[in-house]
């Protein structure tokens, strides 16, 4: 009888402790679930993309802000190039992400008929040109990055699609002296070259500005 009474005294204590332990586990589990639901961006895979090279990546959506920034940058690049040669004209442009600081890196390529050479504003490098000065194809005063963005958006590439940093956004006139793109690109067309990381592959696209025709290399 004494043993039975002892068991009756002990069993409620054990049950009470077990209930306490279960309750604590449930509280912590529910807290974790609520925290995850209240902050869906808390996990890396759910974080929204950062634009304008804020995280060192160049994206399709960045093209939307380049027009206004280019209007500010062009006079600065012109001044750098004309300090090199007075007759320097802009013949190529590449936009990528900054290496040591956030934001865009604007790399102008200027040609001087006097020097018969090209000059890169970001590095100061000079490269001899092996074509007649009359064949130099100057970029237009106004470049529509927004039209390139609209073309890519219509083709199904959303704003978060990343670009290969080695190419960035490269713009040049396709000419006999300085060809750019596949043979199907018309001579004299202003071309924007981008390489998009899409569905596990890199897609080289050559977009005609501003009409929006997309050209790609055809491989047998």
> pLDDT per residue over 120-170, tens digit each?
999 999 999 999 999 999 999 899 999 999 999 999 999 999 999 999 999
In which domain, by residue range, is 177 found? Answer: 60-215
- 166 and 64 in a common domain: yes
**Buried-state track 131-157, b at ≥16 Cβ within 10 A, e below 16:** eeeeebbebeeebbbbbbbebbbeeeb
Alpha-carbon distance of 142 to 210, in angstroms, equals: 11
Predicted confidence at residue 201, as pLDDT, reads 94
- 167 and 122 in a common domain: yes
- 207 and 165 in a common domain: yes
Q: How far, CA to CA in Å, does 41 sit from each of 44, 45, 70, 118?
A: 7, 8, 32, 46
For the record, the structure tokens of 210 come out as: 């501003």
Predicted confidence at residue 125, as pLDDT, reads 97
Within a 10 A sphere around the Cβ of 195, how many other Cβ atoms?
17
Residue with tokens 């000419």: 175
- 17 and 116 in a common domain: no
In this prediction the pTM is: 0.77
Predicted confidence at residue 30, as pLDDT, reads 54
Parts of the chain with a pLDDT under 70: 1-46, 220
Element (H, E) at 202: strand 201-208
E-state strands within 71-125: 89-97, 104-112, 117-120
Q: Is residue 52 situated within a structural domain?
A: no
| DSSP secondary structure code for residue 116 in this structure | T
- 12 and 113 in a common domain: no
Predicted confidence at residue 50, as pLDDT, reads 84
- 200 and 97 in a common domain: yes
- Number of domain units in the chain: 2
Predicted confidence at residue 60, as pLDDT, reads 98
Query: Please, how many CA atoms are within 13 Å of residue 142, restricted to the half-sphere of its CB?
Result: 5
Q: How far, CA to CA in Å, does 120 sit from each of 78, 110, 124, 145?
A: 11, 7, 5, 21
Q: Is residue 174 situated within a structural domain?
A: yes
- 105 and 24 in a common domain: no
Alpha-carbon distance of 10 to 216, in angstroms, equals: 80
Pair 111, 88: CB distance under 8 Å: yes
- 106 and 140 in a common domain: yes
């Amino acid at each position: 009888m004494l043993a039975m009474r002892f068991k009756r005294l002990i069993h409620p204590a054990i049950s009470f402790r077990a209930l306490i332990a279960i309750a604590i586990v449930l509280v912590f589990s529910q807290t974790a679930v609520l925290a995850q639901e209240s902050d869906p961006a808390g996990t890396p895979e759910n974080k929204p993309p950062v634009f304008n090279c804020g995280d060192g990546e160049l994206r399709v959506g960045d093209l939307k802000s380049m027009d206004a920034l280019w209007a500010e940058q062009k006079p600065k690049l012109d001044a750098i190039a004309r300090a090199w040669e007075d007759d320097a004209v802009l013949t190529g442009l590449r936009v990528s992400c900054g290496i040591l600081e956030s934001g865009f890196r604007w790399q102008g390529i200027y040609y001087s008929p006097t020097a018969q050479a090209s000059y890169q504003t970001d590095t100061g490098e000079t490269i001899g040109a092996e074509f007649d000065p009359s064949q130099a194809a100057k970029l237009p005063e106004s470049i529509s990055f927004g039209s390139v963005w609209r073309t890519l958006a219509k083709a199904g590439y959303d704003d978060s699609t990343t670009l290969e940093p080695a190419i960035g956004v490269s713009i040049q006139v396709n000419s006999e002296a300085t060809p750019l793109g596949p043979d199907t690109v018309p001579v004299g067309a202003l071309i924007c070259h981008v390489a998009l990381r899409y569905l596990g592959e890199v897609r080289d696209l050559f977009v005609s500005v501003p009409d929006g025709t997309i050209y790609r290399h055809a491989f047998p």
